[in-house]
A and B are shown apart, each in its own frame.
Chain A
Amino acid sequence: MTRFLLPLAIFAVLVVFLGVGLTLNPRQVPSPLIDKPAPVFKLHHLHDPDKTLMSQDNLGKVWLLNVWASWCVACRDEHPLLVQLAKAGIVPIYGLNYKDQSDTAIRWLKQYGDPYTVSIVDSDGKVGIDYGVYGVPETYVIDKQGIIRYKHIGPVTVKSLEDKILPLIKELQG
């Protein structure tokens, strides 16, 4: 009987490993930027191209950087949630309009609502590369010291907001 136990144990370990592997999402590549200073940028406002926003301007407050585009279908999924979050006034959301056309982007915001304190334009995606963006939408939680504390890849969901993003914001603000 014991001679069957060892292969059975090995098999059980294998099953556990493969089972865990199945639940992992290969699309969610851990970002090396977590707990690192947010890359510096200086970008024009979407609605007022004469104005610019620098990443350092947001030092001293916890903020969200939401990477979006009018061509991004998944952005439409998360958008109502962002609008709600903005209305609740918990945290300022800054929109990084990624590789988009400004007039289309402005029209898109008019249609679906504008949750952003400021939207900034990254038309050639250079700042996106600095932030390691590879799948829009992506959302970064950045703390008062300008350090990236969390990155959410893909559309924000109620679950991800309640389980992770909101508690983290509360902790960082406190």
Chain B
Amino acid sequence: MYKFEAANIFVLQKRIDHYSKFIKQLVAVFSVALLPLISFANEAVSNEAVPVAEDPVLEKRLINLSENLRCLVCQNESLAGSRADFANDLRREMREQMKANKSDEEIIEFLVARYGDFVLYNPPFKANTVLLWFGPLILFVGGTIGLIVYLRRRRTQLEDIPLSESQRLKAEALIKKINKE
């Protein structure tokens, strides 16, 4: 019994040794595998000076601004997202104006003067856009009024119609008949 137990513990110890060795190997293999990744990450950090644009701040401002502007060539894309040559040119133009210290308003004014309000995804409030701005509200108010009128009229239609004496007696007779059955 004692001997058996001892042997058992011995086997167990051997197994733990074996597993720990296996885990150590596993860790070793993984760290070797991860090593290039880690060094790559280090490199990415140390090589930060590979910007997409010369001036990231300006580029960010450009993207923010051009996201609200429509590309006239592919009309469902913004100037920020479009790869059309046209969008490229306009972005270049905007970039140049930003470098020349023009404000966002001035740049938008520049584009609207040449391409019209159509470049703006956010339509301005003007005489010819009144319907665009208030159309939904008008529809909503009109619909609500229509609904109220309809429901009022319906209520008067559903008003109680009092029974005549003969009708009342007939109904009572019917109810009695049903209750008996």
Contact = CB atoms under 8 A, between A and B. Distances in A.
Interface of A: 26-27, 29-33, 99, 124-126, 128-132, 134-135
A130 B114 CA distance: 6
Contact of A134 (B93, B112, B113, B115): B115
B89 interface: yes
A128 B115 CA distance: 11
A138 to B, nearest CB: 12
A29 B113 contact: no
Which residue of A27, A32, A132, A134 has the most chain B CB atoms within 10 A of its CB atom? Answer: A134
Interface string B51-92: 000000000000000000000110100000000011001100
* Main SS class of interface, B: helix
Interface in B74-131: 75, 85-86, 89-90, 93, 112-118
Interface of B: 72-73, 75, 85-86, 89-90, 93, 112-118
Contact of B115 (A26, A99, A132): A132
A93 B39 CA distance: 64
B73 A32 contact: no
B89 A32 contact: no
B72 A32 contact: no
Nearest to B70: A29
Contact of A29 (B85, B86, B90, B115): B115
A41 to B, nearest CB: 13
Contacts of A130: 114
B112 A32 contact: yes
* Main SS class of interface, A: loop
A125 B117 CA distance: 21
Nearest to A30: B116
A97 to B, nearest CB: 15
A32 B113 contact: yes
A124 B90 CA distance: 11
A131 B115 CA distance: 8
Nearest to A131: B114
Contact of B93 (A129, A132, A135): A129
Contacts of A31: 115-116
A128 B117 CA distance: 18
A129 B116 contact: no
Contacts of A135: 72-73
Given A129-B93, A134-B72, A135-B72, A32 B85 contact: no
A99 B85 contact: yes
A129 B90 contact: yes
A152 B25 CA distance: 75
B75 A32 contact: no
A33 B72 contact: no
5 contacts: A29-B72, A32-B112, A33-B113, A126-B93, A134-B115
